[in-house]
Every structure is written in C-alpha cells, then in structure tokens.
C-alpha cells in the first residue's frame, strides 16, 4: 500500500472551503477564534461572525493587491490532496485569550507584547485523518512558518495525556509529544495537565 503524501501550506494558499472542511464539530463552532478574540468577545459573536474573523486573519481566497502574501495566521495540511489538518500559528500577542490566561505566564517574566515570540495556539485534525501522527507534521511546519516570518521563539501550551481520557475537543492545544519531537522544551508546568513549551530559534 502506498504511503500517504502530506503537504502543508500557509493558510492563504489554501481555499476557504478546504479550511472549513477541517473545522467541523466543536472546531466549526469555534472557528479557531476563541484564542484570538478572548472569551468575552468570542461568546458574544455568532458562528458566522467568528468565521469572518478567521477568514480575515488567514486570507484564504483573498487576492487583493494590498494584502501581504506572507501574512496569514496559520497553516493547512493536506493528505493525498485532501484537506486534513490546521494549526493556528501567529505572534503570541495576537491571541487575546493567551494574554488573559494564567497558563503562559505562571512563574515567568515574559513580556506579553513581544511580537517576536510566536505561539501555536490551536491544532485540529479532521476526522478520518486522526491517528496518523499528522499533529507532528503540523507542529514542525508551524515552527518553520514562524521562523520564515521573523519569529525569535515559538511557544506551545500542550496537554499531558498519559493516564487520563482526552477528547479531541479539549486536545486542540495538542499533546506534548509533537512539541518534544520538534525540539521544544518545557519551561513551566502551570497546571496538572498543561505545560508551557518553547523553542528558541536564534
């Protein structure tokens, strides 16, 4: 049996329909905007407006001449040319919910407004493509996406999955394994199941 082919592109090189094919269920209701908007604004918006926020951030199908082609807030993975996975990766300061959460900052002297530190805030793998280690490829590609756009460091806030049942809805932050594989190291352990991991790119 032939091995599957994985291709990962900046989100603005994917179509909006492809991204929406990945964001189903809880991810479809969220439209990957809760981290970006923060809880208060996110809860107030209907799904259609959340989708518009995401579409403006990623630039799918946006061919306007004044849009920076390098500016897009995530990456899209294809498996055998089928849309299969998504990672939200942007400057850490772009994610208001991270700014208001104790998770990234516990025990650290970090500047929340440092735009040279990027964050992998959300990971989604489409049903039917799970269990194929696609999250490993997404995290590695997210690092290179951030590096190419001038990031000094990249952070993630994954969940420890050993010994506890985990649903895909709560695993949108990703498990620890893909971050370890990409060279991240743990810098803090603010809750029982969440860790802060970082990769310095300098």
Query: pLDDT of 121-169, one tens digit each?
Result: 999 999 999 989 999 999 999 999 999 999 999 999 999 887 666 655 6
What's the predicted TM-score (pTM) here? 0.93
The answer to whether residue 26 sits within a structural domain is yes
Find residue 16's DSSP bridge partners: none
The answer to whether residue 140 sits within a structural domain is yes
The answer to whether residue 102 sits within a structural domain is yes
Residue 165 is predicted with a pLDDT of: 62
Which structural domain, as residue segments, surrounds residue 22?
6-200
| Cα gap 18→104, rounded to integer Å | 31
Tally of structural domains, the chain: 1
CATH of the domain at 131: 3.40.630.30
The answer to whether residue 1 sits within a structural domain is no
The answer to whether residue 75 sits within a structural domain is yes
The answer to whether residue 95 sits within a structural domain is yes
The answer to whether residue 100 sits within a structural domain is yes
């Amino acid at each position: 049996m032939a091995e599957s082919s994985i291709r990962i592109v900046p989100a603005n090189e994917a179509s909006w329909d492809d991204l929406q094919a990945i964001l189903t269920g809880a991810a479809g209701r969220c439209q990957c905007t809760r981290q970006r908007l923060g809880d208060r604004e996110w809860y107030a918006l209907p799904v259609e407006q959340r989708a518009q926020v995401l579409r403006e951030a990623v630039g799918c199908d946006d061919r306007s001449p004044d849009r920076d082609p390098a500016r897009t807030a995530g990456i899209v993975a294809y498996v055998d040319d089928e849309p299969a996975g998504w990672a939200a990766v942007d400057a850490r300061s772009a994610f208001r919910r991270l700014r208001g959460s104790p998770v990234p900052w516990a025990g650290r002297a970090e500047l929340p407004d440092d735009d040279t530190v990027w964050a992998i805030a959300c990971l989604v793998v489409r049903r039917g493509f799970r269990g194929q280690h696609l999250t490993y490829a997404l995290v590695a590609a997210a690092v290179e996406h951030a590096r190419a756009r001038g990031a000094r460091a990249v952070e993630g806030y994954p969940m420890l999955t050993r010994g506890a049942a985990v649903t895909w809805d709560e695993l949108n932050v990703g498990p620890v394994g893909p971050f370890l594989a990409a060279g991240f190291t743990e810098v803090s352990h603010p809750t029982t199941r969440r860790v802060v991991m970082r990769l310095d790119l300098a």
